Chain A
Amino acid sequence: MRVLMFGWEFPPHITGGLGTACYGMTKGLAKNGVDVLFVVPKAHGDEDETNVRLLNASDVTVNIDNEIDRSYWDRVQYMEIGSNIIPYVGPEQFATMVEEYRRATSHFRSSVFAPRYEFSGKYGANLMEEVARYALIGSSLATKYDFDVIHAHDWLTYSAGIAAKETTGKPLVVHMHATEFDRSGENINTNVYAIERRGMEAADLVITVSDWTRNIVINKYGINPDKVVTVHNAVEPSDKSLDEYERSGLKAKVVTFLGRITYQKGPEYFVEAAYKILQVDPTIHFVMAGTGDMLPKMVKRVAQLKIGSNFHFTGFLKGNDVDQMFAMSDAFVMPSISEPFGIVPLEAMRLKVPVIISKQSGVSEVVRHALKVDFWDINGLADAIYGICKYKAVAEIFKNEGKEEVDNLKWEFASKKIKAVYEQAINIKNRI
């Protein structure tokens, strides 16, 4: 079986979780005997192509007179890009990215209809233009390669997926890694919503990363439940061990929040729970790692509660610093208000850190060895943190069992389910 897969990024050139997930998935698919033609807007040449064939959209030429391309273009919406429509990226990061993008491309005015188009493959100010161009590439590429099914990841690539389906008649599977409601709360960007919805309606089957997301897709996008299948994300087993990292220099327990400091991630519940715990045990330390539009508000609140000498901020962490942070932590907390999946707790568990996660996250559906609380339940959150810090037996169980559990959440297994979805999609198509 062969799949034409549309992604937006591929390791090592990633800014968010999407690239990492796609990488794990393609590796798992290869193990299940599925060939993957992976299309990215811009290939850098140093990607790991062991398990996939990477197609660089920047290398594809488009004939502007082509009837199909033209007619497709008419239906592509064109719009300004705002920070909240970018998956996995906070507003501050977005501002930096736009700034960099402008600097890099100021000399170069591109046209969507040029025979060749150089993608940045980033989440820059020209994202919408790139999305549109990517859609044109979709139909153009689809005629050049032979494959059985099309698979598109997140709304950025849906238009390309639809175009490929319309050109070839092959079945389309779209993959919801996050919905607009997860990114923006109730104040959604209606253009993005429309693209997501159109993608799911055009698709033969929809994959969601959790039942939490599946419910949103059914209830808020009105998609037929019969065609929405949940395949939980997985993680790659880590070859790293705790011994490679420095331990915390504090002679005290360290409890960590790590993620974008935005409304959806529930940082304020973490701060309030920390305050409650410090009233009882003033020795515990709390860390908020990451950045986002709510950071100044959190700093102010911490100062107001007068817990600044036990509550620390690290700013944005990346690469090795993330694992270093876990290695220094005695508990990891993810109090997200709405989390389609949430891969970070699994990364923490890999390094034997007990985790506390909100019930409003996809990941809570797959892990057993974690404490689960409602995001709004500050007392429950405080209880859970306190328990893990104070009662050694609980912590030990979570450390060891949790590690084992997460090591078994392999992409190989998740990809097997995805392969089954492909087969189902092909069957549906054949029946019609």
Chain B
Amino acid sequence: MRSLCFYFQVHQPWRLRTYRFFDIGKRHVYEDEYTNRTTMQRVSEKCYLPMNQLMIKKIAELGSKFKFALSFSGTAVEQMQLYASAALDSFKNLVETGNVEVLAETYSHSVTSLMSKDAFVKDVKDHVRLMKETFGVRPKTFHNTELIYSNEIGADASELGFDLIMTEGAKHVLGWKSPNYLYVNAINPKMKVMLRNWKLSDDIAFQFKNGNYTVDNFVEMLNSIPQDEEIVNVFINYETFGETIDASEGIFEFMRYMPDAVLKNTDFQFVTPHQVVGGLQPMGVFDAPIPLSCRDEERDVSTWIGNDMQDDAMESLASCFRKVKNTKDEQLAHDWHVLTASENFEAMSTKNVNSTPYDYYINYMNILTDFKNRII
């Protein structure tokens, strides 16, 4: 039997409010409470609650034959605690079935891995602690924000006690090799590397919306994979179900019928990521000296760093870390997570023509100035 590994990302960022120069030193609330609350509540209603219900039902039907992984950002958990406790309870129920592996990631879907090792380590530890508190499990598998990965990041994660990491099956790194095997990190071969099959993953996320994708297409794609290729990893956002793609387009039906079709019509079985560590033989080294990610055609990290605004913001933020590292002030620790979120740097990117990077940078730097003021 070959392995099919599904992993879903559950994430909501803290969206920032308009923060003016006049607010610096006077008001220390940085989040747009209204937008955060209403978004979380909407996503709960449209996605988390119905999708969880469906997944619990599938697990009840198929038992140990249906399993998958979930990764919760710390900020999503915080927001559920505040605004959507029913959704959080239902996630807890889902994890309690025992068929769901909870993954480790950065606390706020952050870009600390591109900032400094110290900041990255704290970030991951904060996340692991929250997962333990919330779901009672200690994650063994790590995946970084938007699958950002390099040999260094992989090695850093192994130092943190993980023996499996996920990243993008990026063509520019793989070359002729297939993503459908298990690989090892180039620095520490004990660290296994799992690669996202972006074709199958993106088909669900993007093709479905065009209305020409069905369970049959998915099964057909699986069966067309050469027999000796051992594992297929489908990584998608949980919010694809019901939020990004509306329920009326039949996305829940896809999830309702897909597991049965896979079990019946293919030689694949569902696995959780960490299951493969002992079970599969690594095929070779996945060598990524330069950071990659699952974003854009380039699959690089240019979404978050590289332009002057992003670099200035990142450097300024990094200079605060020493003061925040061991802080006992919970609000400061929280705000640090808010500020390190990848979304902040993505919004300063000039790659997207519809964005307003200058405005975002100005607003972000005002907030950062206030933050710096508080930690002096």
Contact = CB atoms under 8 A, between A and B. Distances in A.
Nearest to B28: A249
Interface string B12-24: 0000000011111
A309 B308 contact: no
Interface string A243-259: 00010111100000000
Given A299-B361, A299-B362, A300-B309, A308 B316 contact: yes
Interface string B127-141: 000000000000000
A324 B24 CA distance: 13
A246 B175 CA distance: 61
A324 B312 contact: no
Interface stretch (B85-93, B269-277, B325-333, B364-372): B364-372
Interface string A134-154: 000000000000000000000
16 contacts: A246-B22, A248-B24, A249-B23, A249-B25, A251-B25, A287-B21, A302-B312, A303-B311, A303-B361, A304-B308, A306-B316, A307-B312, A308-B316, A308-B361, A310-B369, A312-B21
Nearest to A256: B21
Contact of A309 (B307, B311, B358, B372): B372
A313 B307 CA distance: 19
Interface string B300-343: 00000001110111011000000000000000000000000000
A306 B26 contact: no
B235 to A, nearest CB: 33
A278 to B, nearest CB: 12
B354 interface: no
Nearest to B316: A309
B306 to A, nearest CB: 12
Contacts of B227: none
Contact of A308 (B26, B307, B312): B312
B373 A251 contact: yes
A90 to B, nearest CB: 16
Contacts of B23: 249
Interface of B: 20-26, 307-309, 311-313, 315-316, 358, 361-362, 365-366, 368-370, 372-373, 376
Contacts of A299: 309, 358, 361-362
B317 to A, nearest CB: 9
A321 B307 CA distance: 32
Nearest to B24: A249
B25 A308 contact: no
Given A249-B24, A250-B25, A303-B308, A312 B365 contact: yes
Contact of A250 (B24, B307, B312, B358): B24
Contacts of B26: 246, 249
A309 B369 contact: yes
Contacts of A168: none
Interface residues of A, number: 27
Given A246-B22, A250-B373, A303-B361, 7 more contacts: A246-B26, A248-B25, A249-B23, A251-B25, A299-B358, A313-B21, A314-B20
A302 B21 CA distance: 16
A325 B24 CA distance: 13
Contacts of A351: none
Contacts of A306: 308, 311-312, 315-316
Chain B interface helix/strand/loop/mixed:
helix
Given A309-B372, A312-B365, A328 B312 contact: no
Residue among B20, B316, B362 facing the most chain A CB atoms (10 A cut-off): B362
A306 B313 CA distance: 8
Residue among A246, A251, A306, A325 facing the most chain B CB atoms (10 A cut-off): A306
Nearest to B25: A249
Contacts of A285: 369
A314 B21 contact: yes
Residue among A248, A296, A312 facing the most chain B CB atoms (10 A cut-off): A312
Contacts of A328: 22
Contact of B313 (A304, A308, A310): A308
Nearest to B319: A309
Interface string A324-362: 110010000000000000000000000000000000000
Nearest to A249: B25
Contacts of B365: 308-309, 311-312
A285 B368 CA distance: 13
A303 B350 CA distance: 13
A303 B366 contact: no
B28 to A, nearest CB: 10
- Ranked nearest first, the 7 interchain pairs of A and B with the lowest CB-CB distance are A249-B25, A303-B308, A249-B26, A303-B309, A304-B308, A309-B316, A308-B365
Interface string A279-314: 000000101000000011001101110111111111
Contacts of B20: 314
A324 B315 CA distance: 31
A250 B22 CA distance: 9
A312 B311 contact: no
A308 B358 contact: no
B295 to A, nearest CB: 22
A206 B372 CA distance: 54
Nearest to A302: B312
Contacts of B372: 309
A303 B315 CA distance: 11
Contacts of A309: 312, 316, 365, 368-369, 372
A60 to B, nearest CB: 45
A150 B125 CA distance: 79
Nearest to B317: A309
A60 B106 CA distance: 71
Nearest to B23: A249
B179 to A, nearest CB: 37
A246 B309 CA distance: 30
B315 A312 contact: no
B31 to A, nearest CB: 19
A386 to B, nearest CB: 20
Contact of A313 (B24, B312, B313, B362): B362
Interface string A84-126: 0000000000000000000000000000000000000000000
A423 to B, nearest CB: 48
A38 B96 CA distance: 81
Nearest to B365: A308
Residue among A251, A299, A304, A310 facing the most chain B CB atoms (10 A cut-off): A299
